[in-house]
Structure 1
């Protein structure tokens, strides 16, 4: 009868103890990971800024798909605002006019205030404007100047004008007129329309009246309302300015708004120099604003009983 060698028994016991001490892999519950909710990525946030390295938006098909998403979101925003005066109030409430201008030369540019996107949110316009900027930079980077680029830039210009976001509509407007139009010509009514925006921008926002007249001549722009705005600004004619402002469409009126405060201040100064008292209605017509809004704007005149406004007190003898 054979007997195992003591050292061989010791080795076998050591191996058995090591095997039993080794941790065994345990399989977790199969549904553990399935309980995690998938991350919802906003379609407008899929791409970054081409000026900061994003290259996917240089592809024509990607640009067209992204443009469709932007238009859908924009139309949803407009529909949720109720349209008409309510929509105009929604645009005004965005308060985007104070944003610093974009810089050129490929440098970092100030961006719009970012918010977590949600199509159900009523204040989605900052994200839509950011998406428009991405698309615009993508088209610019790809040097695209075909019918799609023309249509996309026209949409971006319209939306940016309504929000008063000149950081977006000015470069888009210049690219449309200077780069796209020579390659893919606008129709005559379209050229008149967008050249008119350029002229009004020069006159009302930049207050460069000579440049505005030069642009009017260069584009052979013959819109009577645009001409009336220019003449009103040249002659400080606030009566004509307010009258034209009420007669133009929403896009032209939004650009004219840049000059409204300047024209209002001039009108009220003239009123202060020429009158000691005036009817409230007359003061409101002169300033093209309600009395509470004039007071908020800094008018220090006194509203008296009966509806008259005390502008200046007689000097004591």
Structure 2
């Protein structure tokens, strides 16, 4: 089995509606609409597949509207290990307007304790010692917030490096677990919510990331949107940024950054290469709609163009 596993408990079909501008309370005529299989782990798997990595995706899908997911997995060569459940996978509406995106995330499928147990067992069976596993995204309403903490401990016991990309109670619970994730990728707002304090300066962000490293997380990446990202380990800290690019879609750029982190860890890269590759993945995604990267050679060109500074 592939050594990279992504797990998405709450996938979604991303419906992106393009508007010239958004005026609340007014009727709008959309310029275009597109549908993409989504969810953090799905997006990450798609980007890794574009890079050429072998990746398995698992999670829980609604069997009534799974076609766009199965088509994506087949087109990209992703090993599909999703459990199917009765009902429909949720749709997330993304309004693209005024050079920005407004997200409307709908509730997910009802997920029983039996489904969670089955998925946990499947993830443990699929994950390889020495491999990488991503636990990503929000949770369905009925799933306990400590699920990521439990999965992290079970996978780490197999010698798997676990990356967590979540927020709110699931992130907080994972940081109280018996085993902490190997890597985290919060954005500024998620880190502020976790700590309960604003992080308005680079010094505050760096201190917050270093505090997580001191607790036992090997790598903390704080994504900062157009300002790039902060990469922190026990021994080093780097700030990575690209010049402004022509943007096709900002949807999934953070997920592309996670894919770049995983690709770098898969090749046992150092921190600078990790920062360059993760930033290049995110930048490359900005030039493409949907969970897609440019060809590998173009991503490497972007990686060489990343500006690296010591914060």
Q: Mark the structure with the bigger radius of gyration.
A: 1
> Which of the two has greater helix per residue?
1
TM-score w.r.t. the length of structure 1 is: 0.27
Give the TM-score, by structure 2 length.
Answer: 0.27
More relative contact order, 1 or 2 (CA 8 Å, 6+ apart): 2
